[in-house]
Amino acid sequence: MTVPTQGSGPDPGYHPAGGPHSADEVRGSSLGDLMRSVTTDLSTLMRQEVELAKAEIRQEGRKAGKAAGLYGGAGFGGYMVALFLSIALWAGLSNVLDAGWAGLIVAVVWAGIAAVLYSMAKKNAAHVRGLRQTNDSVQRIPDALKPHPEGVTR
């Protein structure tokens, strides 16, 4: 866009709010001014899309991190189940019940903890949804560049 010169009114191609131009403003502008305006607008649009993508990635990354942590807790719980079931089986076979049943109770408790952590992880993972806003707005860019019947006419 061009900046108004001192003492004169605003240049016909100058639009301080950056909004749409009237037909008279467009007719009075040179091709260079129009191309500069389009280039500036596209550059601004692309910067805004990149910023939107960054914000969405940060937000979704937090959710994915929480889900991964919960899956890790469920994995550790599963490991503890296997460990205590093995110890319980060994102790149950070697000591005729006393120490083995204690190990089995601990294993059942860890199985419950693992099940709860897994269900929480699954629920949190369902909330991770990719870059919806960015995808939606980027898909609208080609349509925005097409001529529209209600646009400027001669």
The residue with greater pLDDT, 113 or 107, is: 113
Q: What percent of the chain has pLDDT over 70?
A: 66
The reply to whether 49 falls in a domain is yes
Taking residues 99-116, report their average pLDDT: 79
Place of tokens 């949190």: 124
Q: Report how far apart the first and last C-alpha atoms of the chain are (Å, whole number).
A: 22
Distances (CA, A) of 47 to 13, 21, 53, 74, 151: 23, 22, 10, 41, 25
Flag whether 8 is in a domain: no
* Nearest CA among 87, 84, 90, 91 for reference residue 110: 84
Q: What is the pTM of this model?
A: 0.37
Instruction: For residue 16, tell me if it sits in a domain.
Output: no
Q: Which regions of the chain does DSSP assign to beta strands (E)? A: none
**Residue 3 resides in a domain:** no
| Nearest-10 crossing angle of helices 98-126, 31-95 | 170
Is 80 exceeded by the pLDDT of residue 99? no
In a domain, residue 1? The reply is no
Question: Quick check: 14 pLDDT over 50?
Answer: no
Which of 36-40, 46-50, 86-90, 93-97 shows the lowest per-residue confidence on average (mean pLDDT)?
A: 93-97
Query: Which amino acid is residue 86, in one-letter code?
Result: S
CA-CA-CA-CA torsion sign (119, 121, 125, 127): positive
Tens of pLDDT, residue by residue over 116-144, are 999 999 888 877 776 666 667 767 766 66
- Determine the average pLDDT of the residues in 82-109: 72
Report how many domains make up the chain.
1
Whether pLDDT at 147 is above 70: no
The answer to whether residue 15 sits within a structural domain is no
Residue 30 has pLDDT above 70, yes or no: yes
Residue ranges making up the domain that contains 50:
23-145
pLDDT value of residue 5: 45
Rounded Cα distance, 83 and 77, in Å = 10
pLDDT at 43: 86
C-alpha to C-alpha distances, 114 to 2, 54, 68, 123, nearest whole angstrom: 65, 34, 14, 14
In a domain, 85, yes or no: yes
pLDDT given for residue 77 in this prediction: 93
83 assigned to some structural domain: yes
Question: Could you read off the pLDDT of 52-72 as tens digits, one per residue?
Answer: 888 888 888 888 888 999 999
